[in-house]
Amino acid sequence: MKYGIAVFPSKKLQDIANSYRKRYDTKYSMVPPHLTIKDPFEIKEGELDNIVKEIQKAADKSKPFQLKVLRYSSFYPVTNTLYMKVAENKELKALQEKLNSGLLQKEREHPFVPHITIGQEMNYDELSDVFGRLKLESIEHEETIDRFSLLYQLENGAWTVYETFLLGERE
Amino acid sequence: MKYGIAVFPSKKLQDIANSYRKRYDTKYSMVPPHLTIKDPFEIKEGELDNIVKEIQKAADKSKPFQLKVLRYSSFYPVTNTLYMKVAENKELKALQEKLNSGLLQKEREHPFVPHITIGQEMNYDELSDVFGRLKLESIEHEETIDRFSLLYQLENGAWTVYETFLLGERE
């Protein structure tokens, strides 16, 4: 089965992202707005428990982090994607690295660029029109993230949360 | 904010449910297939931590349960809803009661009928046509449920998982 790891930001930020996704994101109905921490990867049935333990260890050893949206940006011309660019910081980077080491290691196809997608598979004219407008907009948003989710993909392409993990050890 | 508590069954059962929901469920894109354990309820911002602790206690004191789908059924004429009827059992009933007592108490509008919706807001002709066919189909499916999810609703009506809770205390 295909799994992925993502952070769901606050309802406030998800609502802002959805106001764009509704029109511009072909995956709008597949999953709520999110920041992907680990790209989709395969887990075989017998391996799930061990992988979950490994993810739990990574979560325990991590810390809550600040999610700060810097601006709107685009992956064009690599892909016709629009996104909210999220500031890198050492806690987020450390978490992403922990979730990609040991049992969880997997070659990344691209460097890790923290972002929240708001449009994808857009045609060029629409992308350049919308991006042209969004470049002029300032977006000031910062929040604390204290959890992330392991999700799996259904046959229709939608994602269901398997488990949430809190960042840092609890008392 | 509006919260709800639901169980997401296995991918296999979700895929079966989605094969119907795609055509017959107006909420298809809002949330993956699920068994609602606690109807939508309001949590004020300052109350969330206490409510989550209460839910954690209820989860700790509960046990994994068997989810057995008995047959297809309908709430018609109360609502034009089609669903998979899930067998009641004492673990599920105890969990549902714990999640509706103490801090979590709320009057239910209807008695608790465990089910997984596969169609809703259907027009009468389609409902009676599809239900007529499904009544003749046998559905044999049983699985163990060891977790449930607390979700919140976004402005567009979709649901995001806030936290998953494992049933029974872990070592």
Residue A162 touches partner B, C-beta closer than 8 Å: yes
Give the per-residue pLDDT at A110: 81
Q: What is the pLDDT of residues B15-40, one digit of tens each?
A: 999 999 999 999 999 999 999 999 99
The whole-angstrom separation of Cα B91 and Cα B94 is: 5
CB-based contact B32 A154, cutoff 8 Å = yes
- Identify all chain B residues contacting A1, using CB atoms and an 8 Å cutoff: 11
CA distances from B72 to B4, B11, B39, B115 (A): 24, 19, 21, 9
Which of B15, B158, B161 faces A154 most closely, judged by CB atoms? B15
CB-based contact A11 B152, cutoff 8 Å = yes
Which of A28, A156, A160 faces B8 most closely, judged by CB atoms? A160
Which of B8, B18, B155 faces A15 most closely, judged by CB atoms? B155
Q: Residue A73 pLDDT more than 90?
A: yes
* pLDDT tier, A169 (very low <50, low <70, confident <90, very high otherwise): confident
Q: Residue B13 pLDDT more than 60?
A: yes
The whole-angstrom separation of Cα B161 and Cα B150 is: 6
Q: What is the pLDDT of residues A8-57, one digit of tens each?
A: 999 999 999 999 999 999 999 999 999 999 999 999 989 999 999 999 99
Contact status, residue B15 vs residue A155, Cβ threshold 8 Å: yes
Across the A:B interface, residue pairs with CB atoms under 8 Å apart total 59
Kindly provide the b/e burial profile for residues B73-108, where b requires at least 16 CB atoms within 10 angstroms of the residue's own CB. Answer: bbbeeeebbbbbbbeeeebbeebbebbbeeebeeee
pLDDT > 90 fraction of chain A, expressed in percent and rounded: 89
* pLDDT tier, B170 (very low <50, low <70, confident <90, very high otherwise): low
Q: Taking all residues of chain A, what is their mean pLDDT, rounded to a whole number?
A: 95
- Identify all chain A residues contacting B147, using CB atoms and an 8 Å cutoff: 163
- Identify all chain A residues contacting B158, using CB atoms and an 8 Å cutoff: 18, 29, 32
Residue A11 touches partner B, C-beta closer than 8 Å: yes
CB-based contact B161 A156, cutoff 8 Å = no
The partner residues of B147 in beta bridges, in order of sequence, read B166
Q: What is the pLDDT of residues B104-163, one digit of tens each?
A: 988 777 889 999 999 999 999 999 999 999 999 888 899 999 999 999 999 999 999 999
- Identify all chain A residues contacting B149, using CB atoms and an 8 Å cutoff: 161
Shortest Cα distance, chain B CAs vs residue A78, angstroms: 28
Give the per-residue pLDDT at A114: 97
Total-model pTM: 0.96
State the catalytic residues of A.
34, 115
Domains detected in chain A: 2-166 (3.90.1140.10)
Q: Taking all residues of chain B, what is their mean pLDDT, rounded to a whole number?
A: 95
The partner residues of B36 in beta bridges, in order of sequence, read B6
Give the per-residue pLDDT at A1: 96
Which of B14, B152, B154 faces A160 most closely, judged by CB atoms? B14
CB-based contact A158 B32, cutoff 8 Å = yes
Give the per-residue pLDDT at A15: 98
Q: Residue A93 pLDDT more than 80?
A: yes
Q: How many CA atoms lie within 13 A of A93 on its CB side?
A: 6
Q: What is the pLDDT of residues B57-89, one digit of tens each?
A: 999 999 999 999 999 999 999 999 999 999 999
Q: Residue B171 pLDDT more than 90?
A: no
* pLDDT tier, A170 (very low <50, low <70, confident <90, very high otherwise): low
